[in-house]
């Protein structure tokens, strides 16, 4: 029982394997395993299989398209293709054909496309005159890249006479080898004129230093002319003017002078059907400004695509009226120049390729177009050393579908995305983006992912998975389907660990945990610092309270009596008397009579001299400031009185700040006080001897008043 079960299983696996292997080799032809067959033998290709003369497969007669590209065939046996009446395409390119036997193409009356490109045919005797005669349907012939032997510099010219029977020919690719030493000018021979359907000419191997007005004279119907890599240096006016049918022109990798180019362009002006112009590496290396004739002369054409890539333009600038892109233009390729400035009116352009230029600095503040509305669908700004983009760069880009900003030095998305309502792909790969800091950008991207199905590529950036970036990481987690190439998105933690963004959810959880303690820590530290600062500053304020108050009042005072105060050579009063209200009697009956009447001094006494309506504190500071000295009548009530102590301290400040630390305080001890009752500040003064005790007897009083008067007078 068990064993039979095992058998069944093994058999089942075997069957699966069989089915699998048949599936893999499904395209392999039955008649020859070196070939692949498609659509039940209608299409057969045996490319790159080292097939030689001796082992050419026998092809079924039903084959319509046959490709033997890149094999080792030197001579094709005559009967190889004769039975293939349905053959319409035959590709023998890149073999080692030395000669073609008569009748090789016999019977191929339906053949429309034949390529013998890249062989070693010595055309002068290797091809029978009537070799192409059976090909009555041939539309496309490729006889280019033909050398005598591999690594040879001898290129036999294709004998045009062979074309005479190909009356249906529409397209030909042929070499033009016209060495400079030949004095005769090159022209496509007369026979081409009889090929009335010939509209497409591609020149393969090309040496055509001078294009003369006779060069294409026999090709009046040309619509497609590819003469790239012809190293053409000069161009005769009128050469392409007669055409008027030209739709496609490729003059890439020529060595034109400016003069020749402008002649060519002015001729193109007459080719009203021109749609595509390729000028890859066509301008002299000296041209750093895009020539203005480019737009000027092409305005009359139907131009749709211009390629001026791989030149050395540094500036390409135009404006609305003067150098606007032609309205028919859809594709403009400026890649691989060294543009540092680019600016055009381009309301109708669809594809703009600015890849690999030096527009980084320019685009950080400027736009590449002034058109408020554009039709641009694809913009390639990759490889431009862009660090940031001007905020409004993509304004009016309502139709943009694909924007490539890869391989730059962007660090963030700070430019406005809100106009990009049709955007499907934003490529930001290979930049220095660590995250998106702007909440608006994140919201816009989220919105676009819903409305226009936008995808963005942040791969090959080193994103930052840190607490400051938590919002961005959370955003990524919520918008995972927005991101392309997630497996190539890397994220670095604060401890320099780098992880792939495959499981963002886990990263977010981890970060949220770390960051909550981080936030608490930040709050604690912030609160701690503010408390410390508060304590410190209140300590400082307390420590310097008198100084501050003094300065405050002095400032106010100075402001108020600015004029009066300017010269303070003499004081308004000789002394300011500071006393507690309990000592009013003593002041009125003793101090004022003795000092004012007896000694002729002027005193400032608060009950008498303070200006009514003024604040008491202001009055005190003014009084002290305007008096030569301040006499404090020290009693217990004085020490207890707020205002007395205020006066005492203000007088101290006055001495420090206004009188060069001269002692202006004079203490009169009206009562017996023990040293321990005195505050420290007063004790300090007592030790400096600036005090006197009231004696309270007849004899002593006389001496006492004299002494005070003396000290008041002696200060100056």
Ligand X SMILES: *[C@@H]1O[C@H](CO)[C@@H](O)[C@H](O)[C@H]1NC(C)=O
Q: How near is the Cβ of 150 to ligand X at its closest, in Å?
A: 14
Q: How near is the Cβ of 55 to ligand X at its closest, in Å?
A: 11
By C-beta, is 44 or 601 nearer to ligand X? 44
Q: Tokens in use for 318?
A: 């135009």
Radius of gyration of the chain (CA): 51
Which 215-244 residues touch ligand X, going by CB under 6 A? none
507: number of Cβ within 10 Å: 20
Q: How near is the Cβ of 93 to ligand X at its closest, in Å?
A: 17
Asked whether the beta carbons of 666 and 708 are under 8 A apart, the reply is yes
- Tally the C-alpha atoms within 13 A of residue 269's C-alpha that lie toward its C-beta: 14
| CA distances for 261 relative to 33, 206, 264, 594, angstroms | 53, 19, 5, 115
Q: Is 49 in the site for ligand X (CB under 6 A)?
A: yes
By C-beta, is 72 or 524 nearer to ligand X? 72
By C-beta, is 68 or 454 nearer to ligand X? 68
Q: How near is the Cβ of 41 to ligand X at its closest, in Å?
A: 21
Task: Say how far apart CA 687 and CA 674 lie, in whole Å.
Answer: 14
By C-beta, is 49 or 397 nearer to ligand X? 49
By C-beta, is 70 or 414 nearer to ligand X? 70
By C-beta, is 69 or 472 nearer to ligand X? 69
By C-beta, is 25 or 495 nearer to ligand X? 25
Task: Say how far apart CA 74 and CA 468 lie, in whole Å.
Answer: 70
| CA distances for 636 relative to 579, 591, 676, 677, angstroms | 11, 18, 12, 9
Q: How near is the Cβ of 50 to ligand X at its closest, in Å?
A: 4
Q: How near is the Cβ of 30 to ligand X at its closest, in Å?
A: 19
Size of the site for ligand X (CB under 6 A): 2
Which 386-445 residues touch ligand X, going by CB under 6 A? none
671 closest CA partner among 620, 629, 632, 630: 632
By C-beta, is 118 or 134 nearer to ligand X? 118
Q: How near is the Cβ of 63 to ligand X at its closest, in Å?
A: 21
Which 64-93 residues touch ligand X, going by CB under 6 A? none
Determine the length of the chain. 716
Q: Is 50 in the site for ligand X (CB under 6 A)?
A: yes
| CA distances for 600 relative to 533, 577, 595, 667, 701, angstroms | 53, 15, 6, 20, 17
Q: Is 54 in the site for ligand X (CB under 6 A)?
A: no
Task: Say how far apart CA 150 and CA 145 lie, in whole Å.
Answer: 11
- For residues 598 to 637, the per-residue mask of contacts with ligand X, x marking binding by CB under 6 A and - elsewhere, is ----------------------------------------
| 597 secondary structure, DSSP code | I
By C-beta, is 50 or 570 nearer to ligand X? 50
Q: How near is the Cβ of 24 to ligand X at its closest, in Å?
A: 17
Q: Which residue is closest to ligand X by CB?
A: 50
Q: How near is the Cβ of 334 to ligand X at its closest, in Å?
A: 42
159 closest CA partner among 189, 183, 137: 189
Task: Say how far apart CA 216 and CA 247 lie, in whole Å.
Answer: 15
Which 113-172 residues touch ligand X, going by CB under 6 A? none
Binding stretches for ligand X (CB under 6 A): 49-50
């Amino acid at each position: 029982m068990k064993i039979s079960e095992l058998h069944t299983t093994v058999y089942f696996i075997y069957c699966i394997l069989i089915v699998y292997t048949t599936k893999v080799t499904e395209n392999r032809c039955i008649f020859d395993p070196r070939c692949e067959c498609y659509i039940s033998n209608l299409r057969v290709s045996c490319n790159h299989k080292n097939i030689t003369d001796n082992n050419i497969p026998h092809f079924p007669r039903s084959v319509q398209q046959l490709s033997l590209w890149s094999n080792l065939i030197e001579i094709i046996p005559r009967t190889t293709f004769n039975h293939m009446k349905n053959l319409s395409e035959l590709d023998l390119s890149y073999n080692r054909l030395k000669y073609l036997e008569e009748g090789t193409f016999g019977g191929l009356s339906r053949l429309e496309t034949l390529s013998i490109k890249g062989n070693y045919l010595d055309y002068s005797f290797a091809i029978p005159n009537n070799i192409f005669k059976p090909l009555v349907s041939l539309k496309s012939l490729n006889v280019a890249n033909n050398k005598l032997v591999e690594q040879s510099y001898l290129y036999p010219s294709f004998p045009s006479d062979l074309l005479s029977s190909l009356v249906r020919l529409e397209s030909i690719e042929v070499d033009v080898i016209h060495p400079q030493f030949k004095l005769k000018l090159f022209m496509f021979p007369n026979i081409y004129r009889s090929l009335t359907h010939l509209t497409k000419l591609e020149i393969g191997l090309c040496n055509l230093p001078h294009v003369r007005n006779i060069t294409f004279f026999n090709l009046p119907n040309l619509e497609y002319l590819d003469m790239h890599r012809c190293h053409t240096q000069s161009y005769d006016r009128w050469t392409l003017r007669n055409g008027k049918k030209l739709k496609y022109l490729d003059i890439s990798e020529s060595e034109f002078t400016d003069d020749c180019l402008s002649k060519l362009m002015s001729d193109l002006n007459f080719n009203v059907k021109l749609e595509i112009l390729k000028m890859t590496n066509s301008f002299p290396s000296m041209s750093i400004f895009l020539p203005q004739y480019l737009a000027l002369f092409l305005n009359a054409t139907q131009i749709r695509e211009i390629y001026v890539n791989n030149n050395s333009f540094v500036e390409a600038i135009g404006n609305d009226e003067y150098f606007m892109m032609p309205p028919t233009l859809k594709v403009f390729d400026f890649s691989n120049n060294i543009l540092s400035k680019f600016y055009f009116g381009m309301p109708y352009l669809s594809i703009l390729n600015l890849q690999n230029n030096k527009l980084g600095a320019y685009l950080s503040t400027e736009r590449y177009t002034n058109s408020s509305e554009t039709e641009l669908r694809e913009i390639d700004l990759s490889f431009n050393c862009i660090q940031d983009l001007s905020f409004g760069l993509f304004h009016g880009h309502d139709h943009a579908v694909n924007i490539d900003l890869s391989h730059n030095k962007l660090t963030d998305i700070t430019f406005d995305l809100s106009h990009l309502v049709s955007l499907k792909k934003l490529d930001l790969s290979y930049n220095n983006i660590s995250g998106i800091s702007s909440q608006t950008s994140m919201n816009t991207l989220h919105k676009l992912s819903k409305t226009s199905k936008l995808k963005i590529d942040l791969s090959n950036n080193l994103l930052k998975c840190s607490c400051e970036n938590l919002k961005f990481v959370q955003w990524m987690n919520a918008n995972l389907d927005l991101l392309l190439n997630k497996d190539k998105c890397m994220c670095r933690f604060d401890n320099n660990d780098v992880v792939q963004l495959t499981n963002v959810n886990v990263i977010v959880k981890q970060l949220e945990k770390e960051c909550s303690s981080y936030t608490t820590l930040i709050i604690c530290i912030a609160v701690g610092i503010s408390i410390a600062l508060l304590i410190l500053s209140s300590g400082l304020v307390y420590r310097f309270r008198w100084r501050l108050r003094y300065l405050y009042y002095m400032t106010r005072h100075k402001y108020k009596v600015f004029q009066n105060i300017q010269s303070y050579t003499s004081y308004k009063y000789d002394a300011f008397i500071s006393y507690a209200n309990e000592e009013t009697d003593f002041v009125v009956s003793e101090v004022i009579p003795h000092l004012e009447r007896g000694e002729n001094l002027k005193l400032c006494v608060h009950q008498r001299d303070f200006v009514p309506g003024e604040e008491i504190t202001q009055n005190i500071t003014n009084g002290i400031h305007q008096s030569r000295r301040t006499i404090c009548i020290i009693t217990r009530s004085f020490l207890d009185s707020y205002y007395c102590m205020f006066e005492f301290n203000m007088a101290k400040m006055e001495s420090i700040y206004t009188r060069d630390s001269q002692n202006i305080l004079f203490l009169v001890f009206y009562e017996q006080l023990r040293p321990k009752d005195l505050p420290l500040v007063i004790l300090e003064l007592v030790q400096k001897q600036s005090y006197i005790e009231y004696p309270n007897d007849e004899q002593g009083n006389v001496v006492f008043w004299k002494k005070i008067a003396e000290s008041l007078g002696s200060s100056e």
